Amino acid sequence: MSTYTVVNPATEQPVTDVELTSVEQTDVAIAQASKAFPAWRDLAPGDRAALLRRFAEVVDAHIDELAELEVRNAGHTWGNATWEAGNVRDVLNYYAGAPERLAGKQIPVAGGVNVTFHEPVGVVGIIVPWNFPMPIAGWGMAPALAAGNTVVLKPAELTPLTAMRIGELALEAGVPEGVLTVLPGKGSVVGQRFVTHPDVRKVCFTGSTEVGKQIMAGCADQVKRCTLELGGKSANIVFADSDLAKAAASAPYAVFDNAGQDCCARSRILVERSAYDEFLALLEPAVKGVRVLDPSDRSSEMGPLISAHQRETVHSFIDDAEVAYTGSMPDGDGFWVAPTVVLADSTQQRIWRDEVFGPVVAVLPFEDEADAVAMANDTEYGLSGSIYTSDLGRGLRVSRAVQAGNLSVNTHASVRYWTPFGGYKQSGLGRELGPDAPYAFTEEKNVFIAT
């Protein structure tokens, strides 16, 4: 039996050892999920809804415990970790409304009656990255379970603890054995088996674009359904007519939240040239004001990176770039990088094009609206972005022109569990969240009855 030692990224101290699931154990779990599927599918919709609501209640009773685990396992701040645990509860409650609403259609035809049904696909494999272990687990499992599927879920090897606890809480809530199974382990072992095992009918993957492409190629072999939520290089577009003080005050939180390990991080700031110097001057105190502290300190606003490896990757970007200014970070152990503002000198630079996944933001001026849109779209990614302007017509026009799935105007808050989330271009395939998410875990069946 091989094990992995979970490390606290703020202290580099071991937290606990976790047994890694083997291929054989993965196969056993998939067999149990297949066995549990018919009964879960056939449960009266109201009963499935009630179990999901009960699951949400049990999660709610353990918010502090889950948050505590995430602070130690992922280095998330207390504020973020409690929000993330609450998000799992909220997503379960929201999709508890779905079993009773997954209605098909009656479509007019000659000579009979035509009806459609939304039928669950079967066993769903969910592969979760380390940056948001709880929300991403919740966004996959809640609509999948609501639609009548059973779920096998693999957390990232680095951050398995909260997902494992959530799996236990499901059982405590009365969710039957085999309906949700959490399998801590390696992507190349457990995740890969979800892709190749014929009884896993759909794979929901969140992670890097590179691995996402491999998952998609692997799924093609069996024409397996897959949803991909991948990387991003999102633009924060600041027009000269915006409230510059507000735009500058909010910009750090749009990119340094979760130490920049956020697929939606607005890691490119585009500023209209006439406001460029003023914006940079306003941004400096905002960046320096971010409280970068051990996340066990409840006033911390930014914690460490997840690992030494991730810190090296981030340094490889900063070392090549022209740093304008940095914020603070603690001394001593922990995988720390200070919030860093880089002045880009071209849209071809690596810092401007590649996802850093760390607390680094690059800034470049633009000339006019058309230039801003062209620069924002000059990327293979398309996940999110923000537009700051006092002209709401322009805000809407630019939102429509930017090729990304989640835009926000005069705020960076673009993700809500009751609205759809996902990427254009190489940021992903399909959508999560919102009212339609359960349908993505069903097949639509059409039945014609001759009369």
Residues marked active site are found at 229
Helices (H) and strands (E) in the chain, counts: 14, 18
Name the token pair of 292.
């970068």
Residue 365 Cβ vs ligand TAP, minimum distance, rounded to whole Å:
26
**Residue 69 C-beta: closest distance to ligand TAP, Å:** 17
Q: Among residues 68, 70, 84, 229, which is the contact residue for ligand TAP, using CB under 6 A?
A: 229
Residue 205 main-chain phi, psi, to 5 deg: -120, 135
Q: Is residue 190 packed enough to be buried (19+ CB in 10 Å), middle (13-18) or exposed (0-12)? A: buried
Query: CA of 247: how far to CAs of 275, 339, 352, in Å?
Result: 11, 17, 20
Candidate residues 133, 178, 191, 395; the one interacting with ligand TAP per rule CB under 6 A:
191
| Residues between 256 and 315 with contacts to ligand TAP, criterion CB under 6 A | 263
Binding mask of the shown chain, residues 140 to 169, with x at each position contacting ligand TAP by CB under 6 A: --------------x-xx------------
Binding residue for ligand TAP (CB under 6 A) from 74, 230, 247, 314? 230
Q: Are 372 and 398 in contact (CB under 8 A)?
A: yes
Taking the complex as a whole, the smallest distance from the CB of residue 197 to ligand TAP amounts, in Å, to: 12
Nearest residue (beta carbon) to ligand TAP = 187
CB of residue 422 vs ligand TAP: minimum separation in angstroms?
Answer: 7
Residue length of the chain: 451
Write a three-state SS string for 276-313: HHHHHHHHHHHHHCCCECCCCCCCCCECCCCCHHHHHH
Minimum CB distance to ligand TAP smaller for 313 or for 377: 313
The smaller minimum CB distance to ligand TAP, of residues 420 and 435, is found at 420
User: Which residues inside 403-422 make contact with ligand TAP, applying CB under 6 A?
Assistant: none
Q: Does 357 bind ligand TAP (CB under 6 A)?
A: yes
Distance (Å, whole) CA 194 – CA 218? 10
Residues 411, 90: Cα–Cα separation, whole Å: 22
Of 41, 54, 186, 288, the one binding ligand TAP (CB under 6 A) is 186
Q: For residue 444, which of 118, 179, 201, 180 has the smallest C-alpha distance?
A: 118
Total Cβ atoms within 10 A of residue 16: 14
- In the list 8, 26, 162, 192, the residue contacting ligand TAP (rule: CB under 6 A) is 192
The residue from 178, 231, 339, 365 that contacts ligand TAP (CB under 6 A) is: 231
Does residue 208 touch ligand TAP according to CB under 6 A? yes
Q: Which residues bind ligand TAP (CB under 6 A)?
A: 127-132, 136, 154, 156-157, 186-188, 191-192, 206-208, 211, 214-215, 229-232, 263, 355, 357, 383, 423, 428
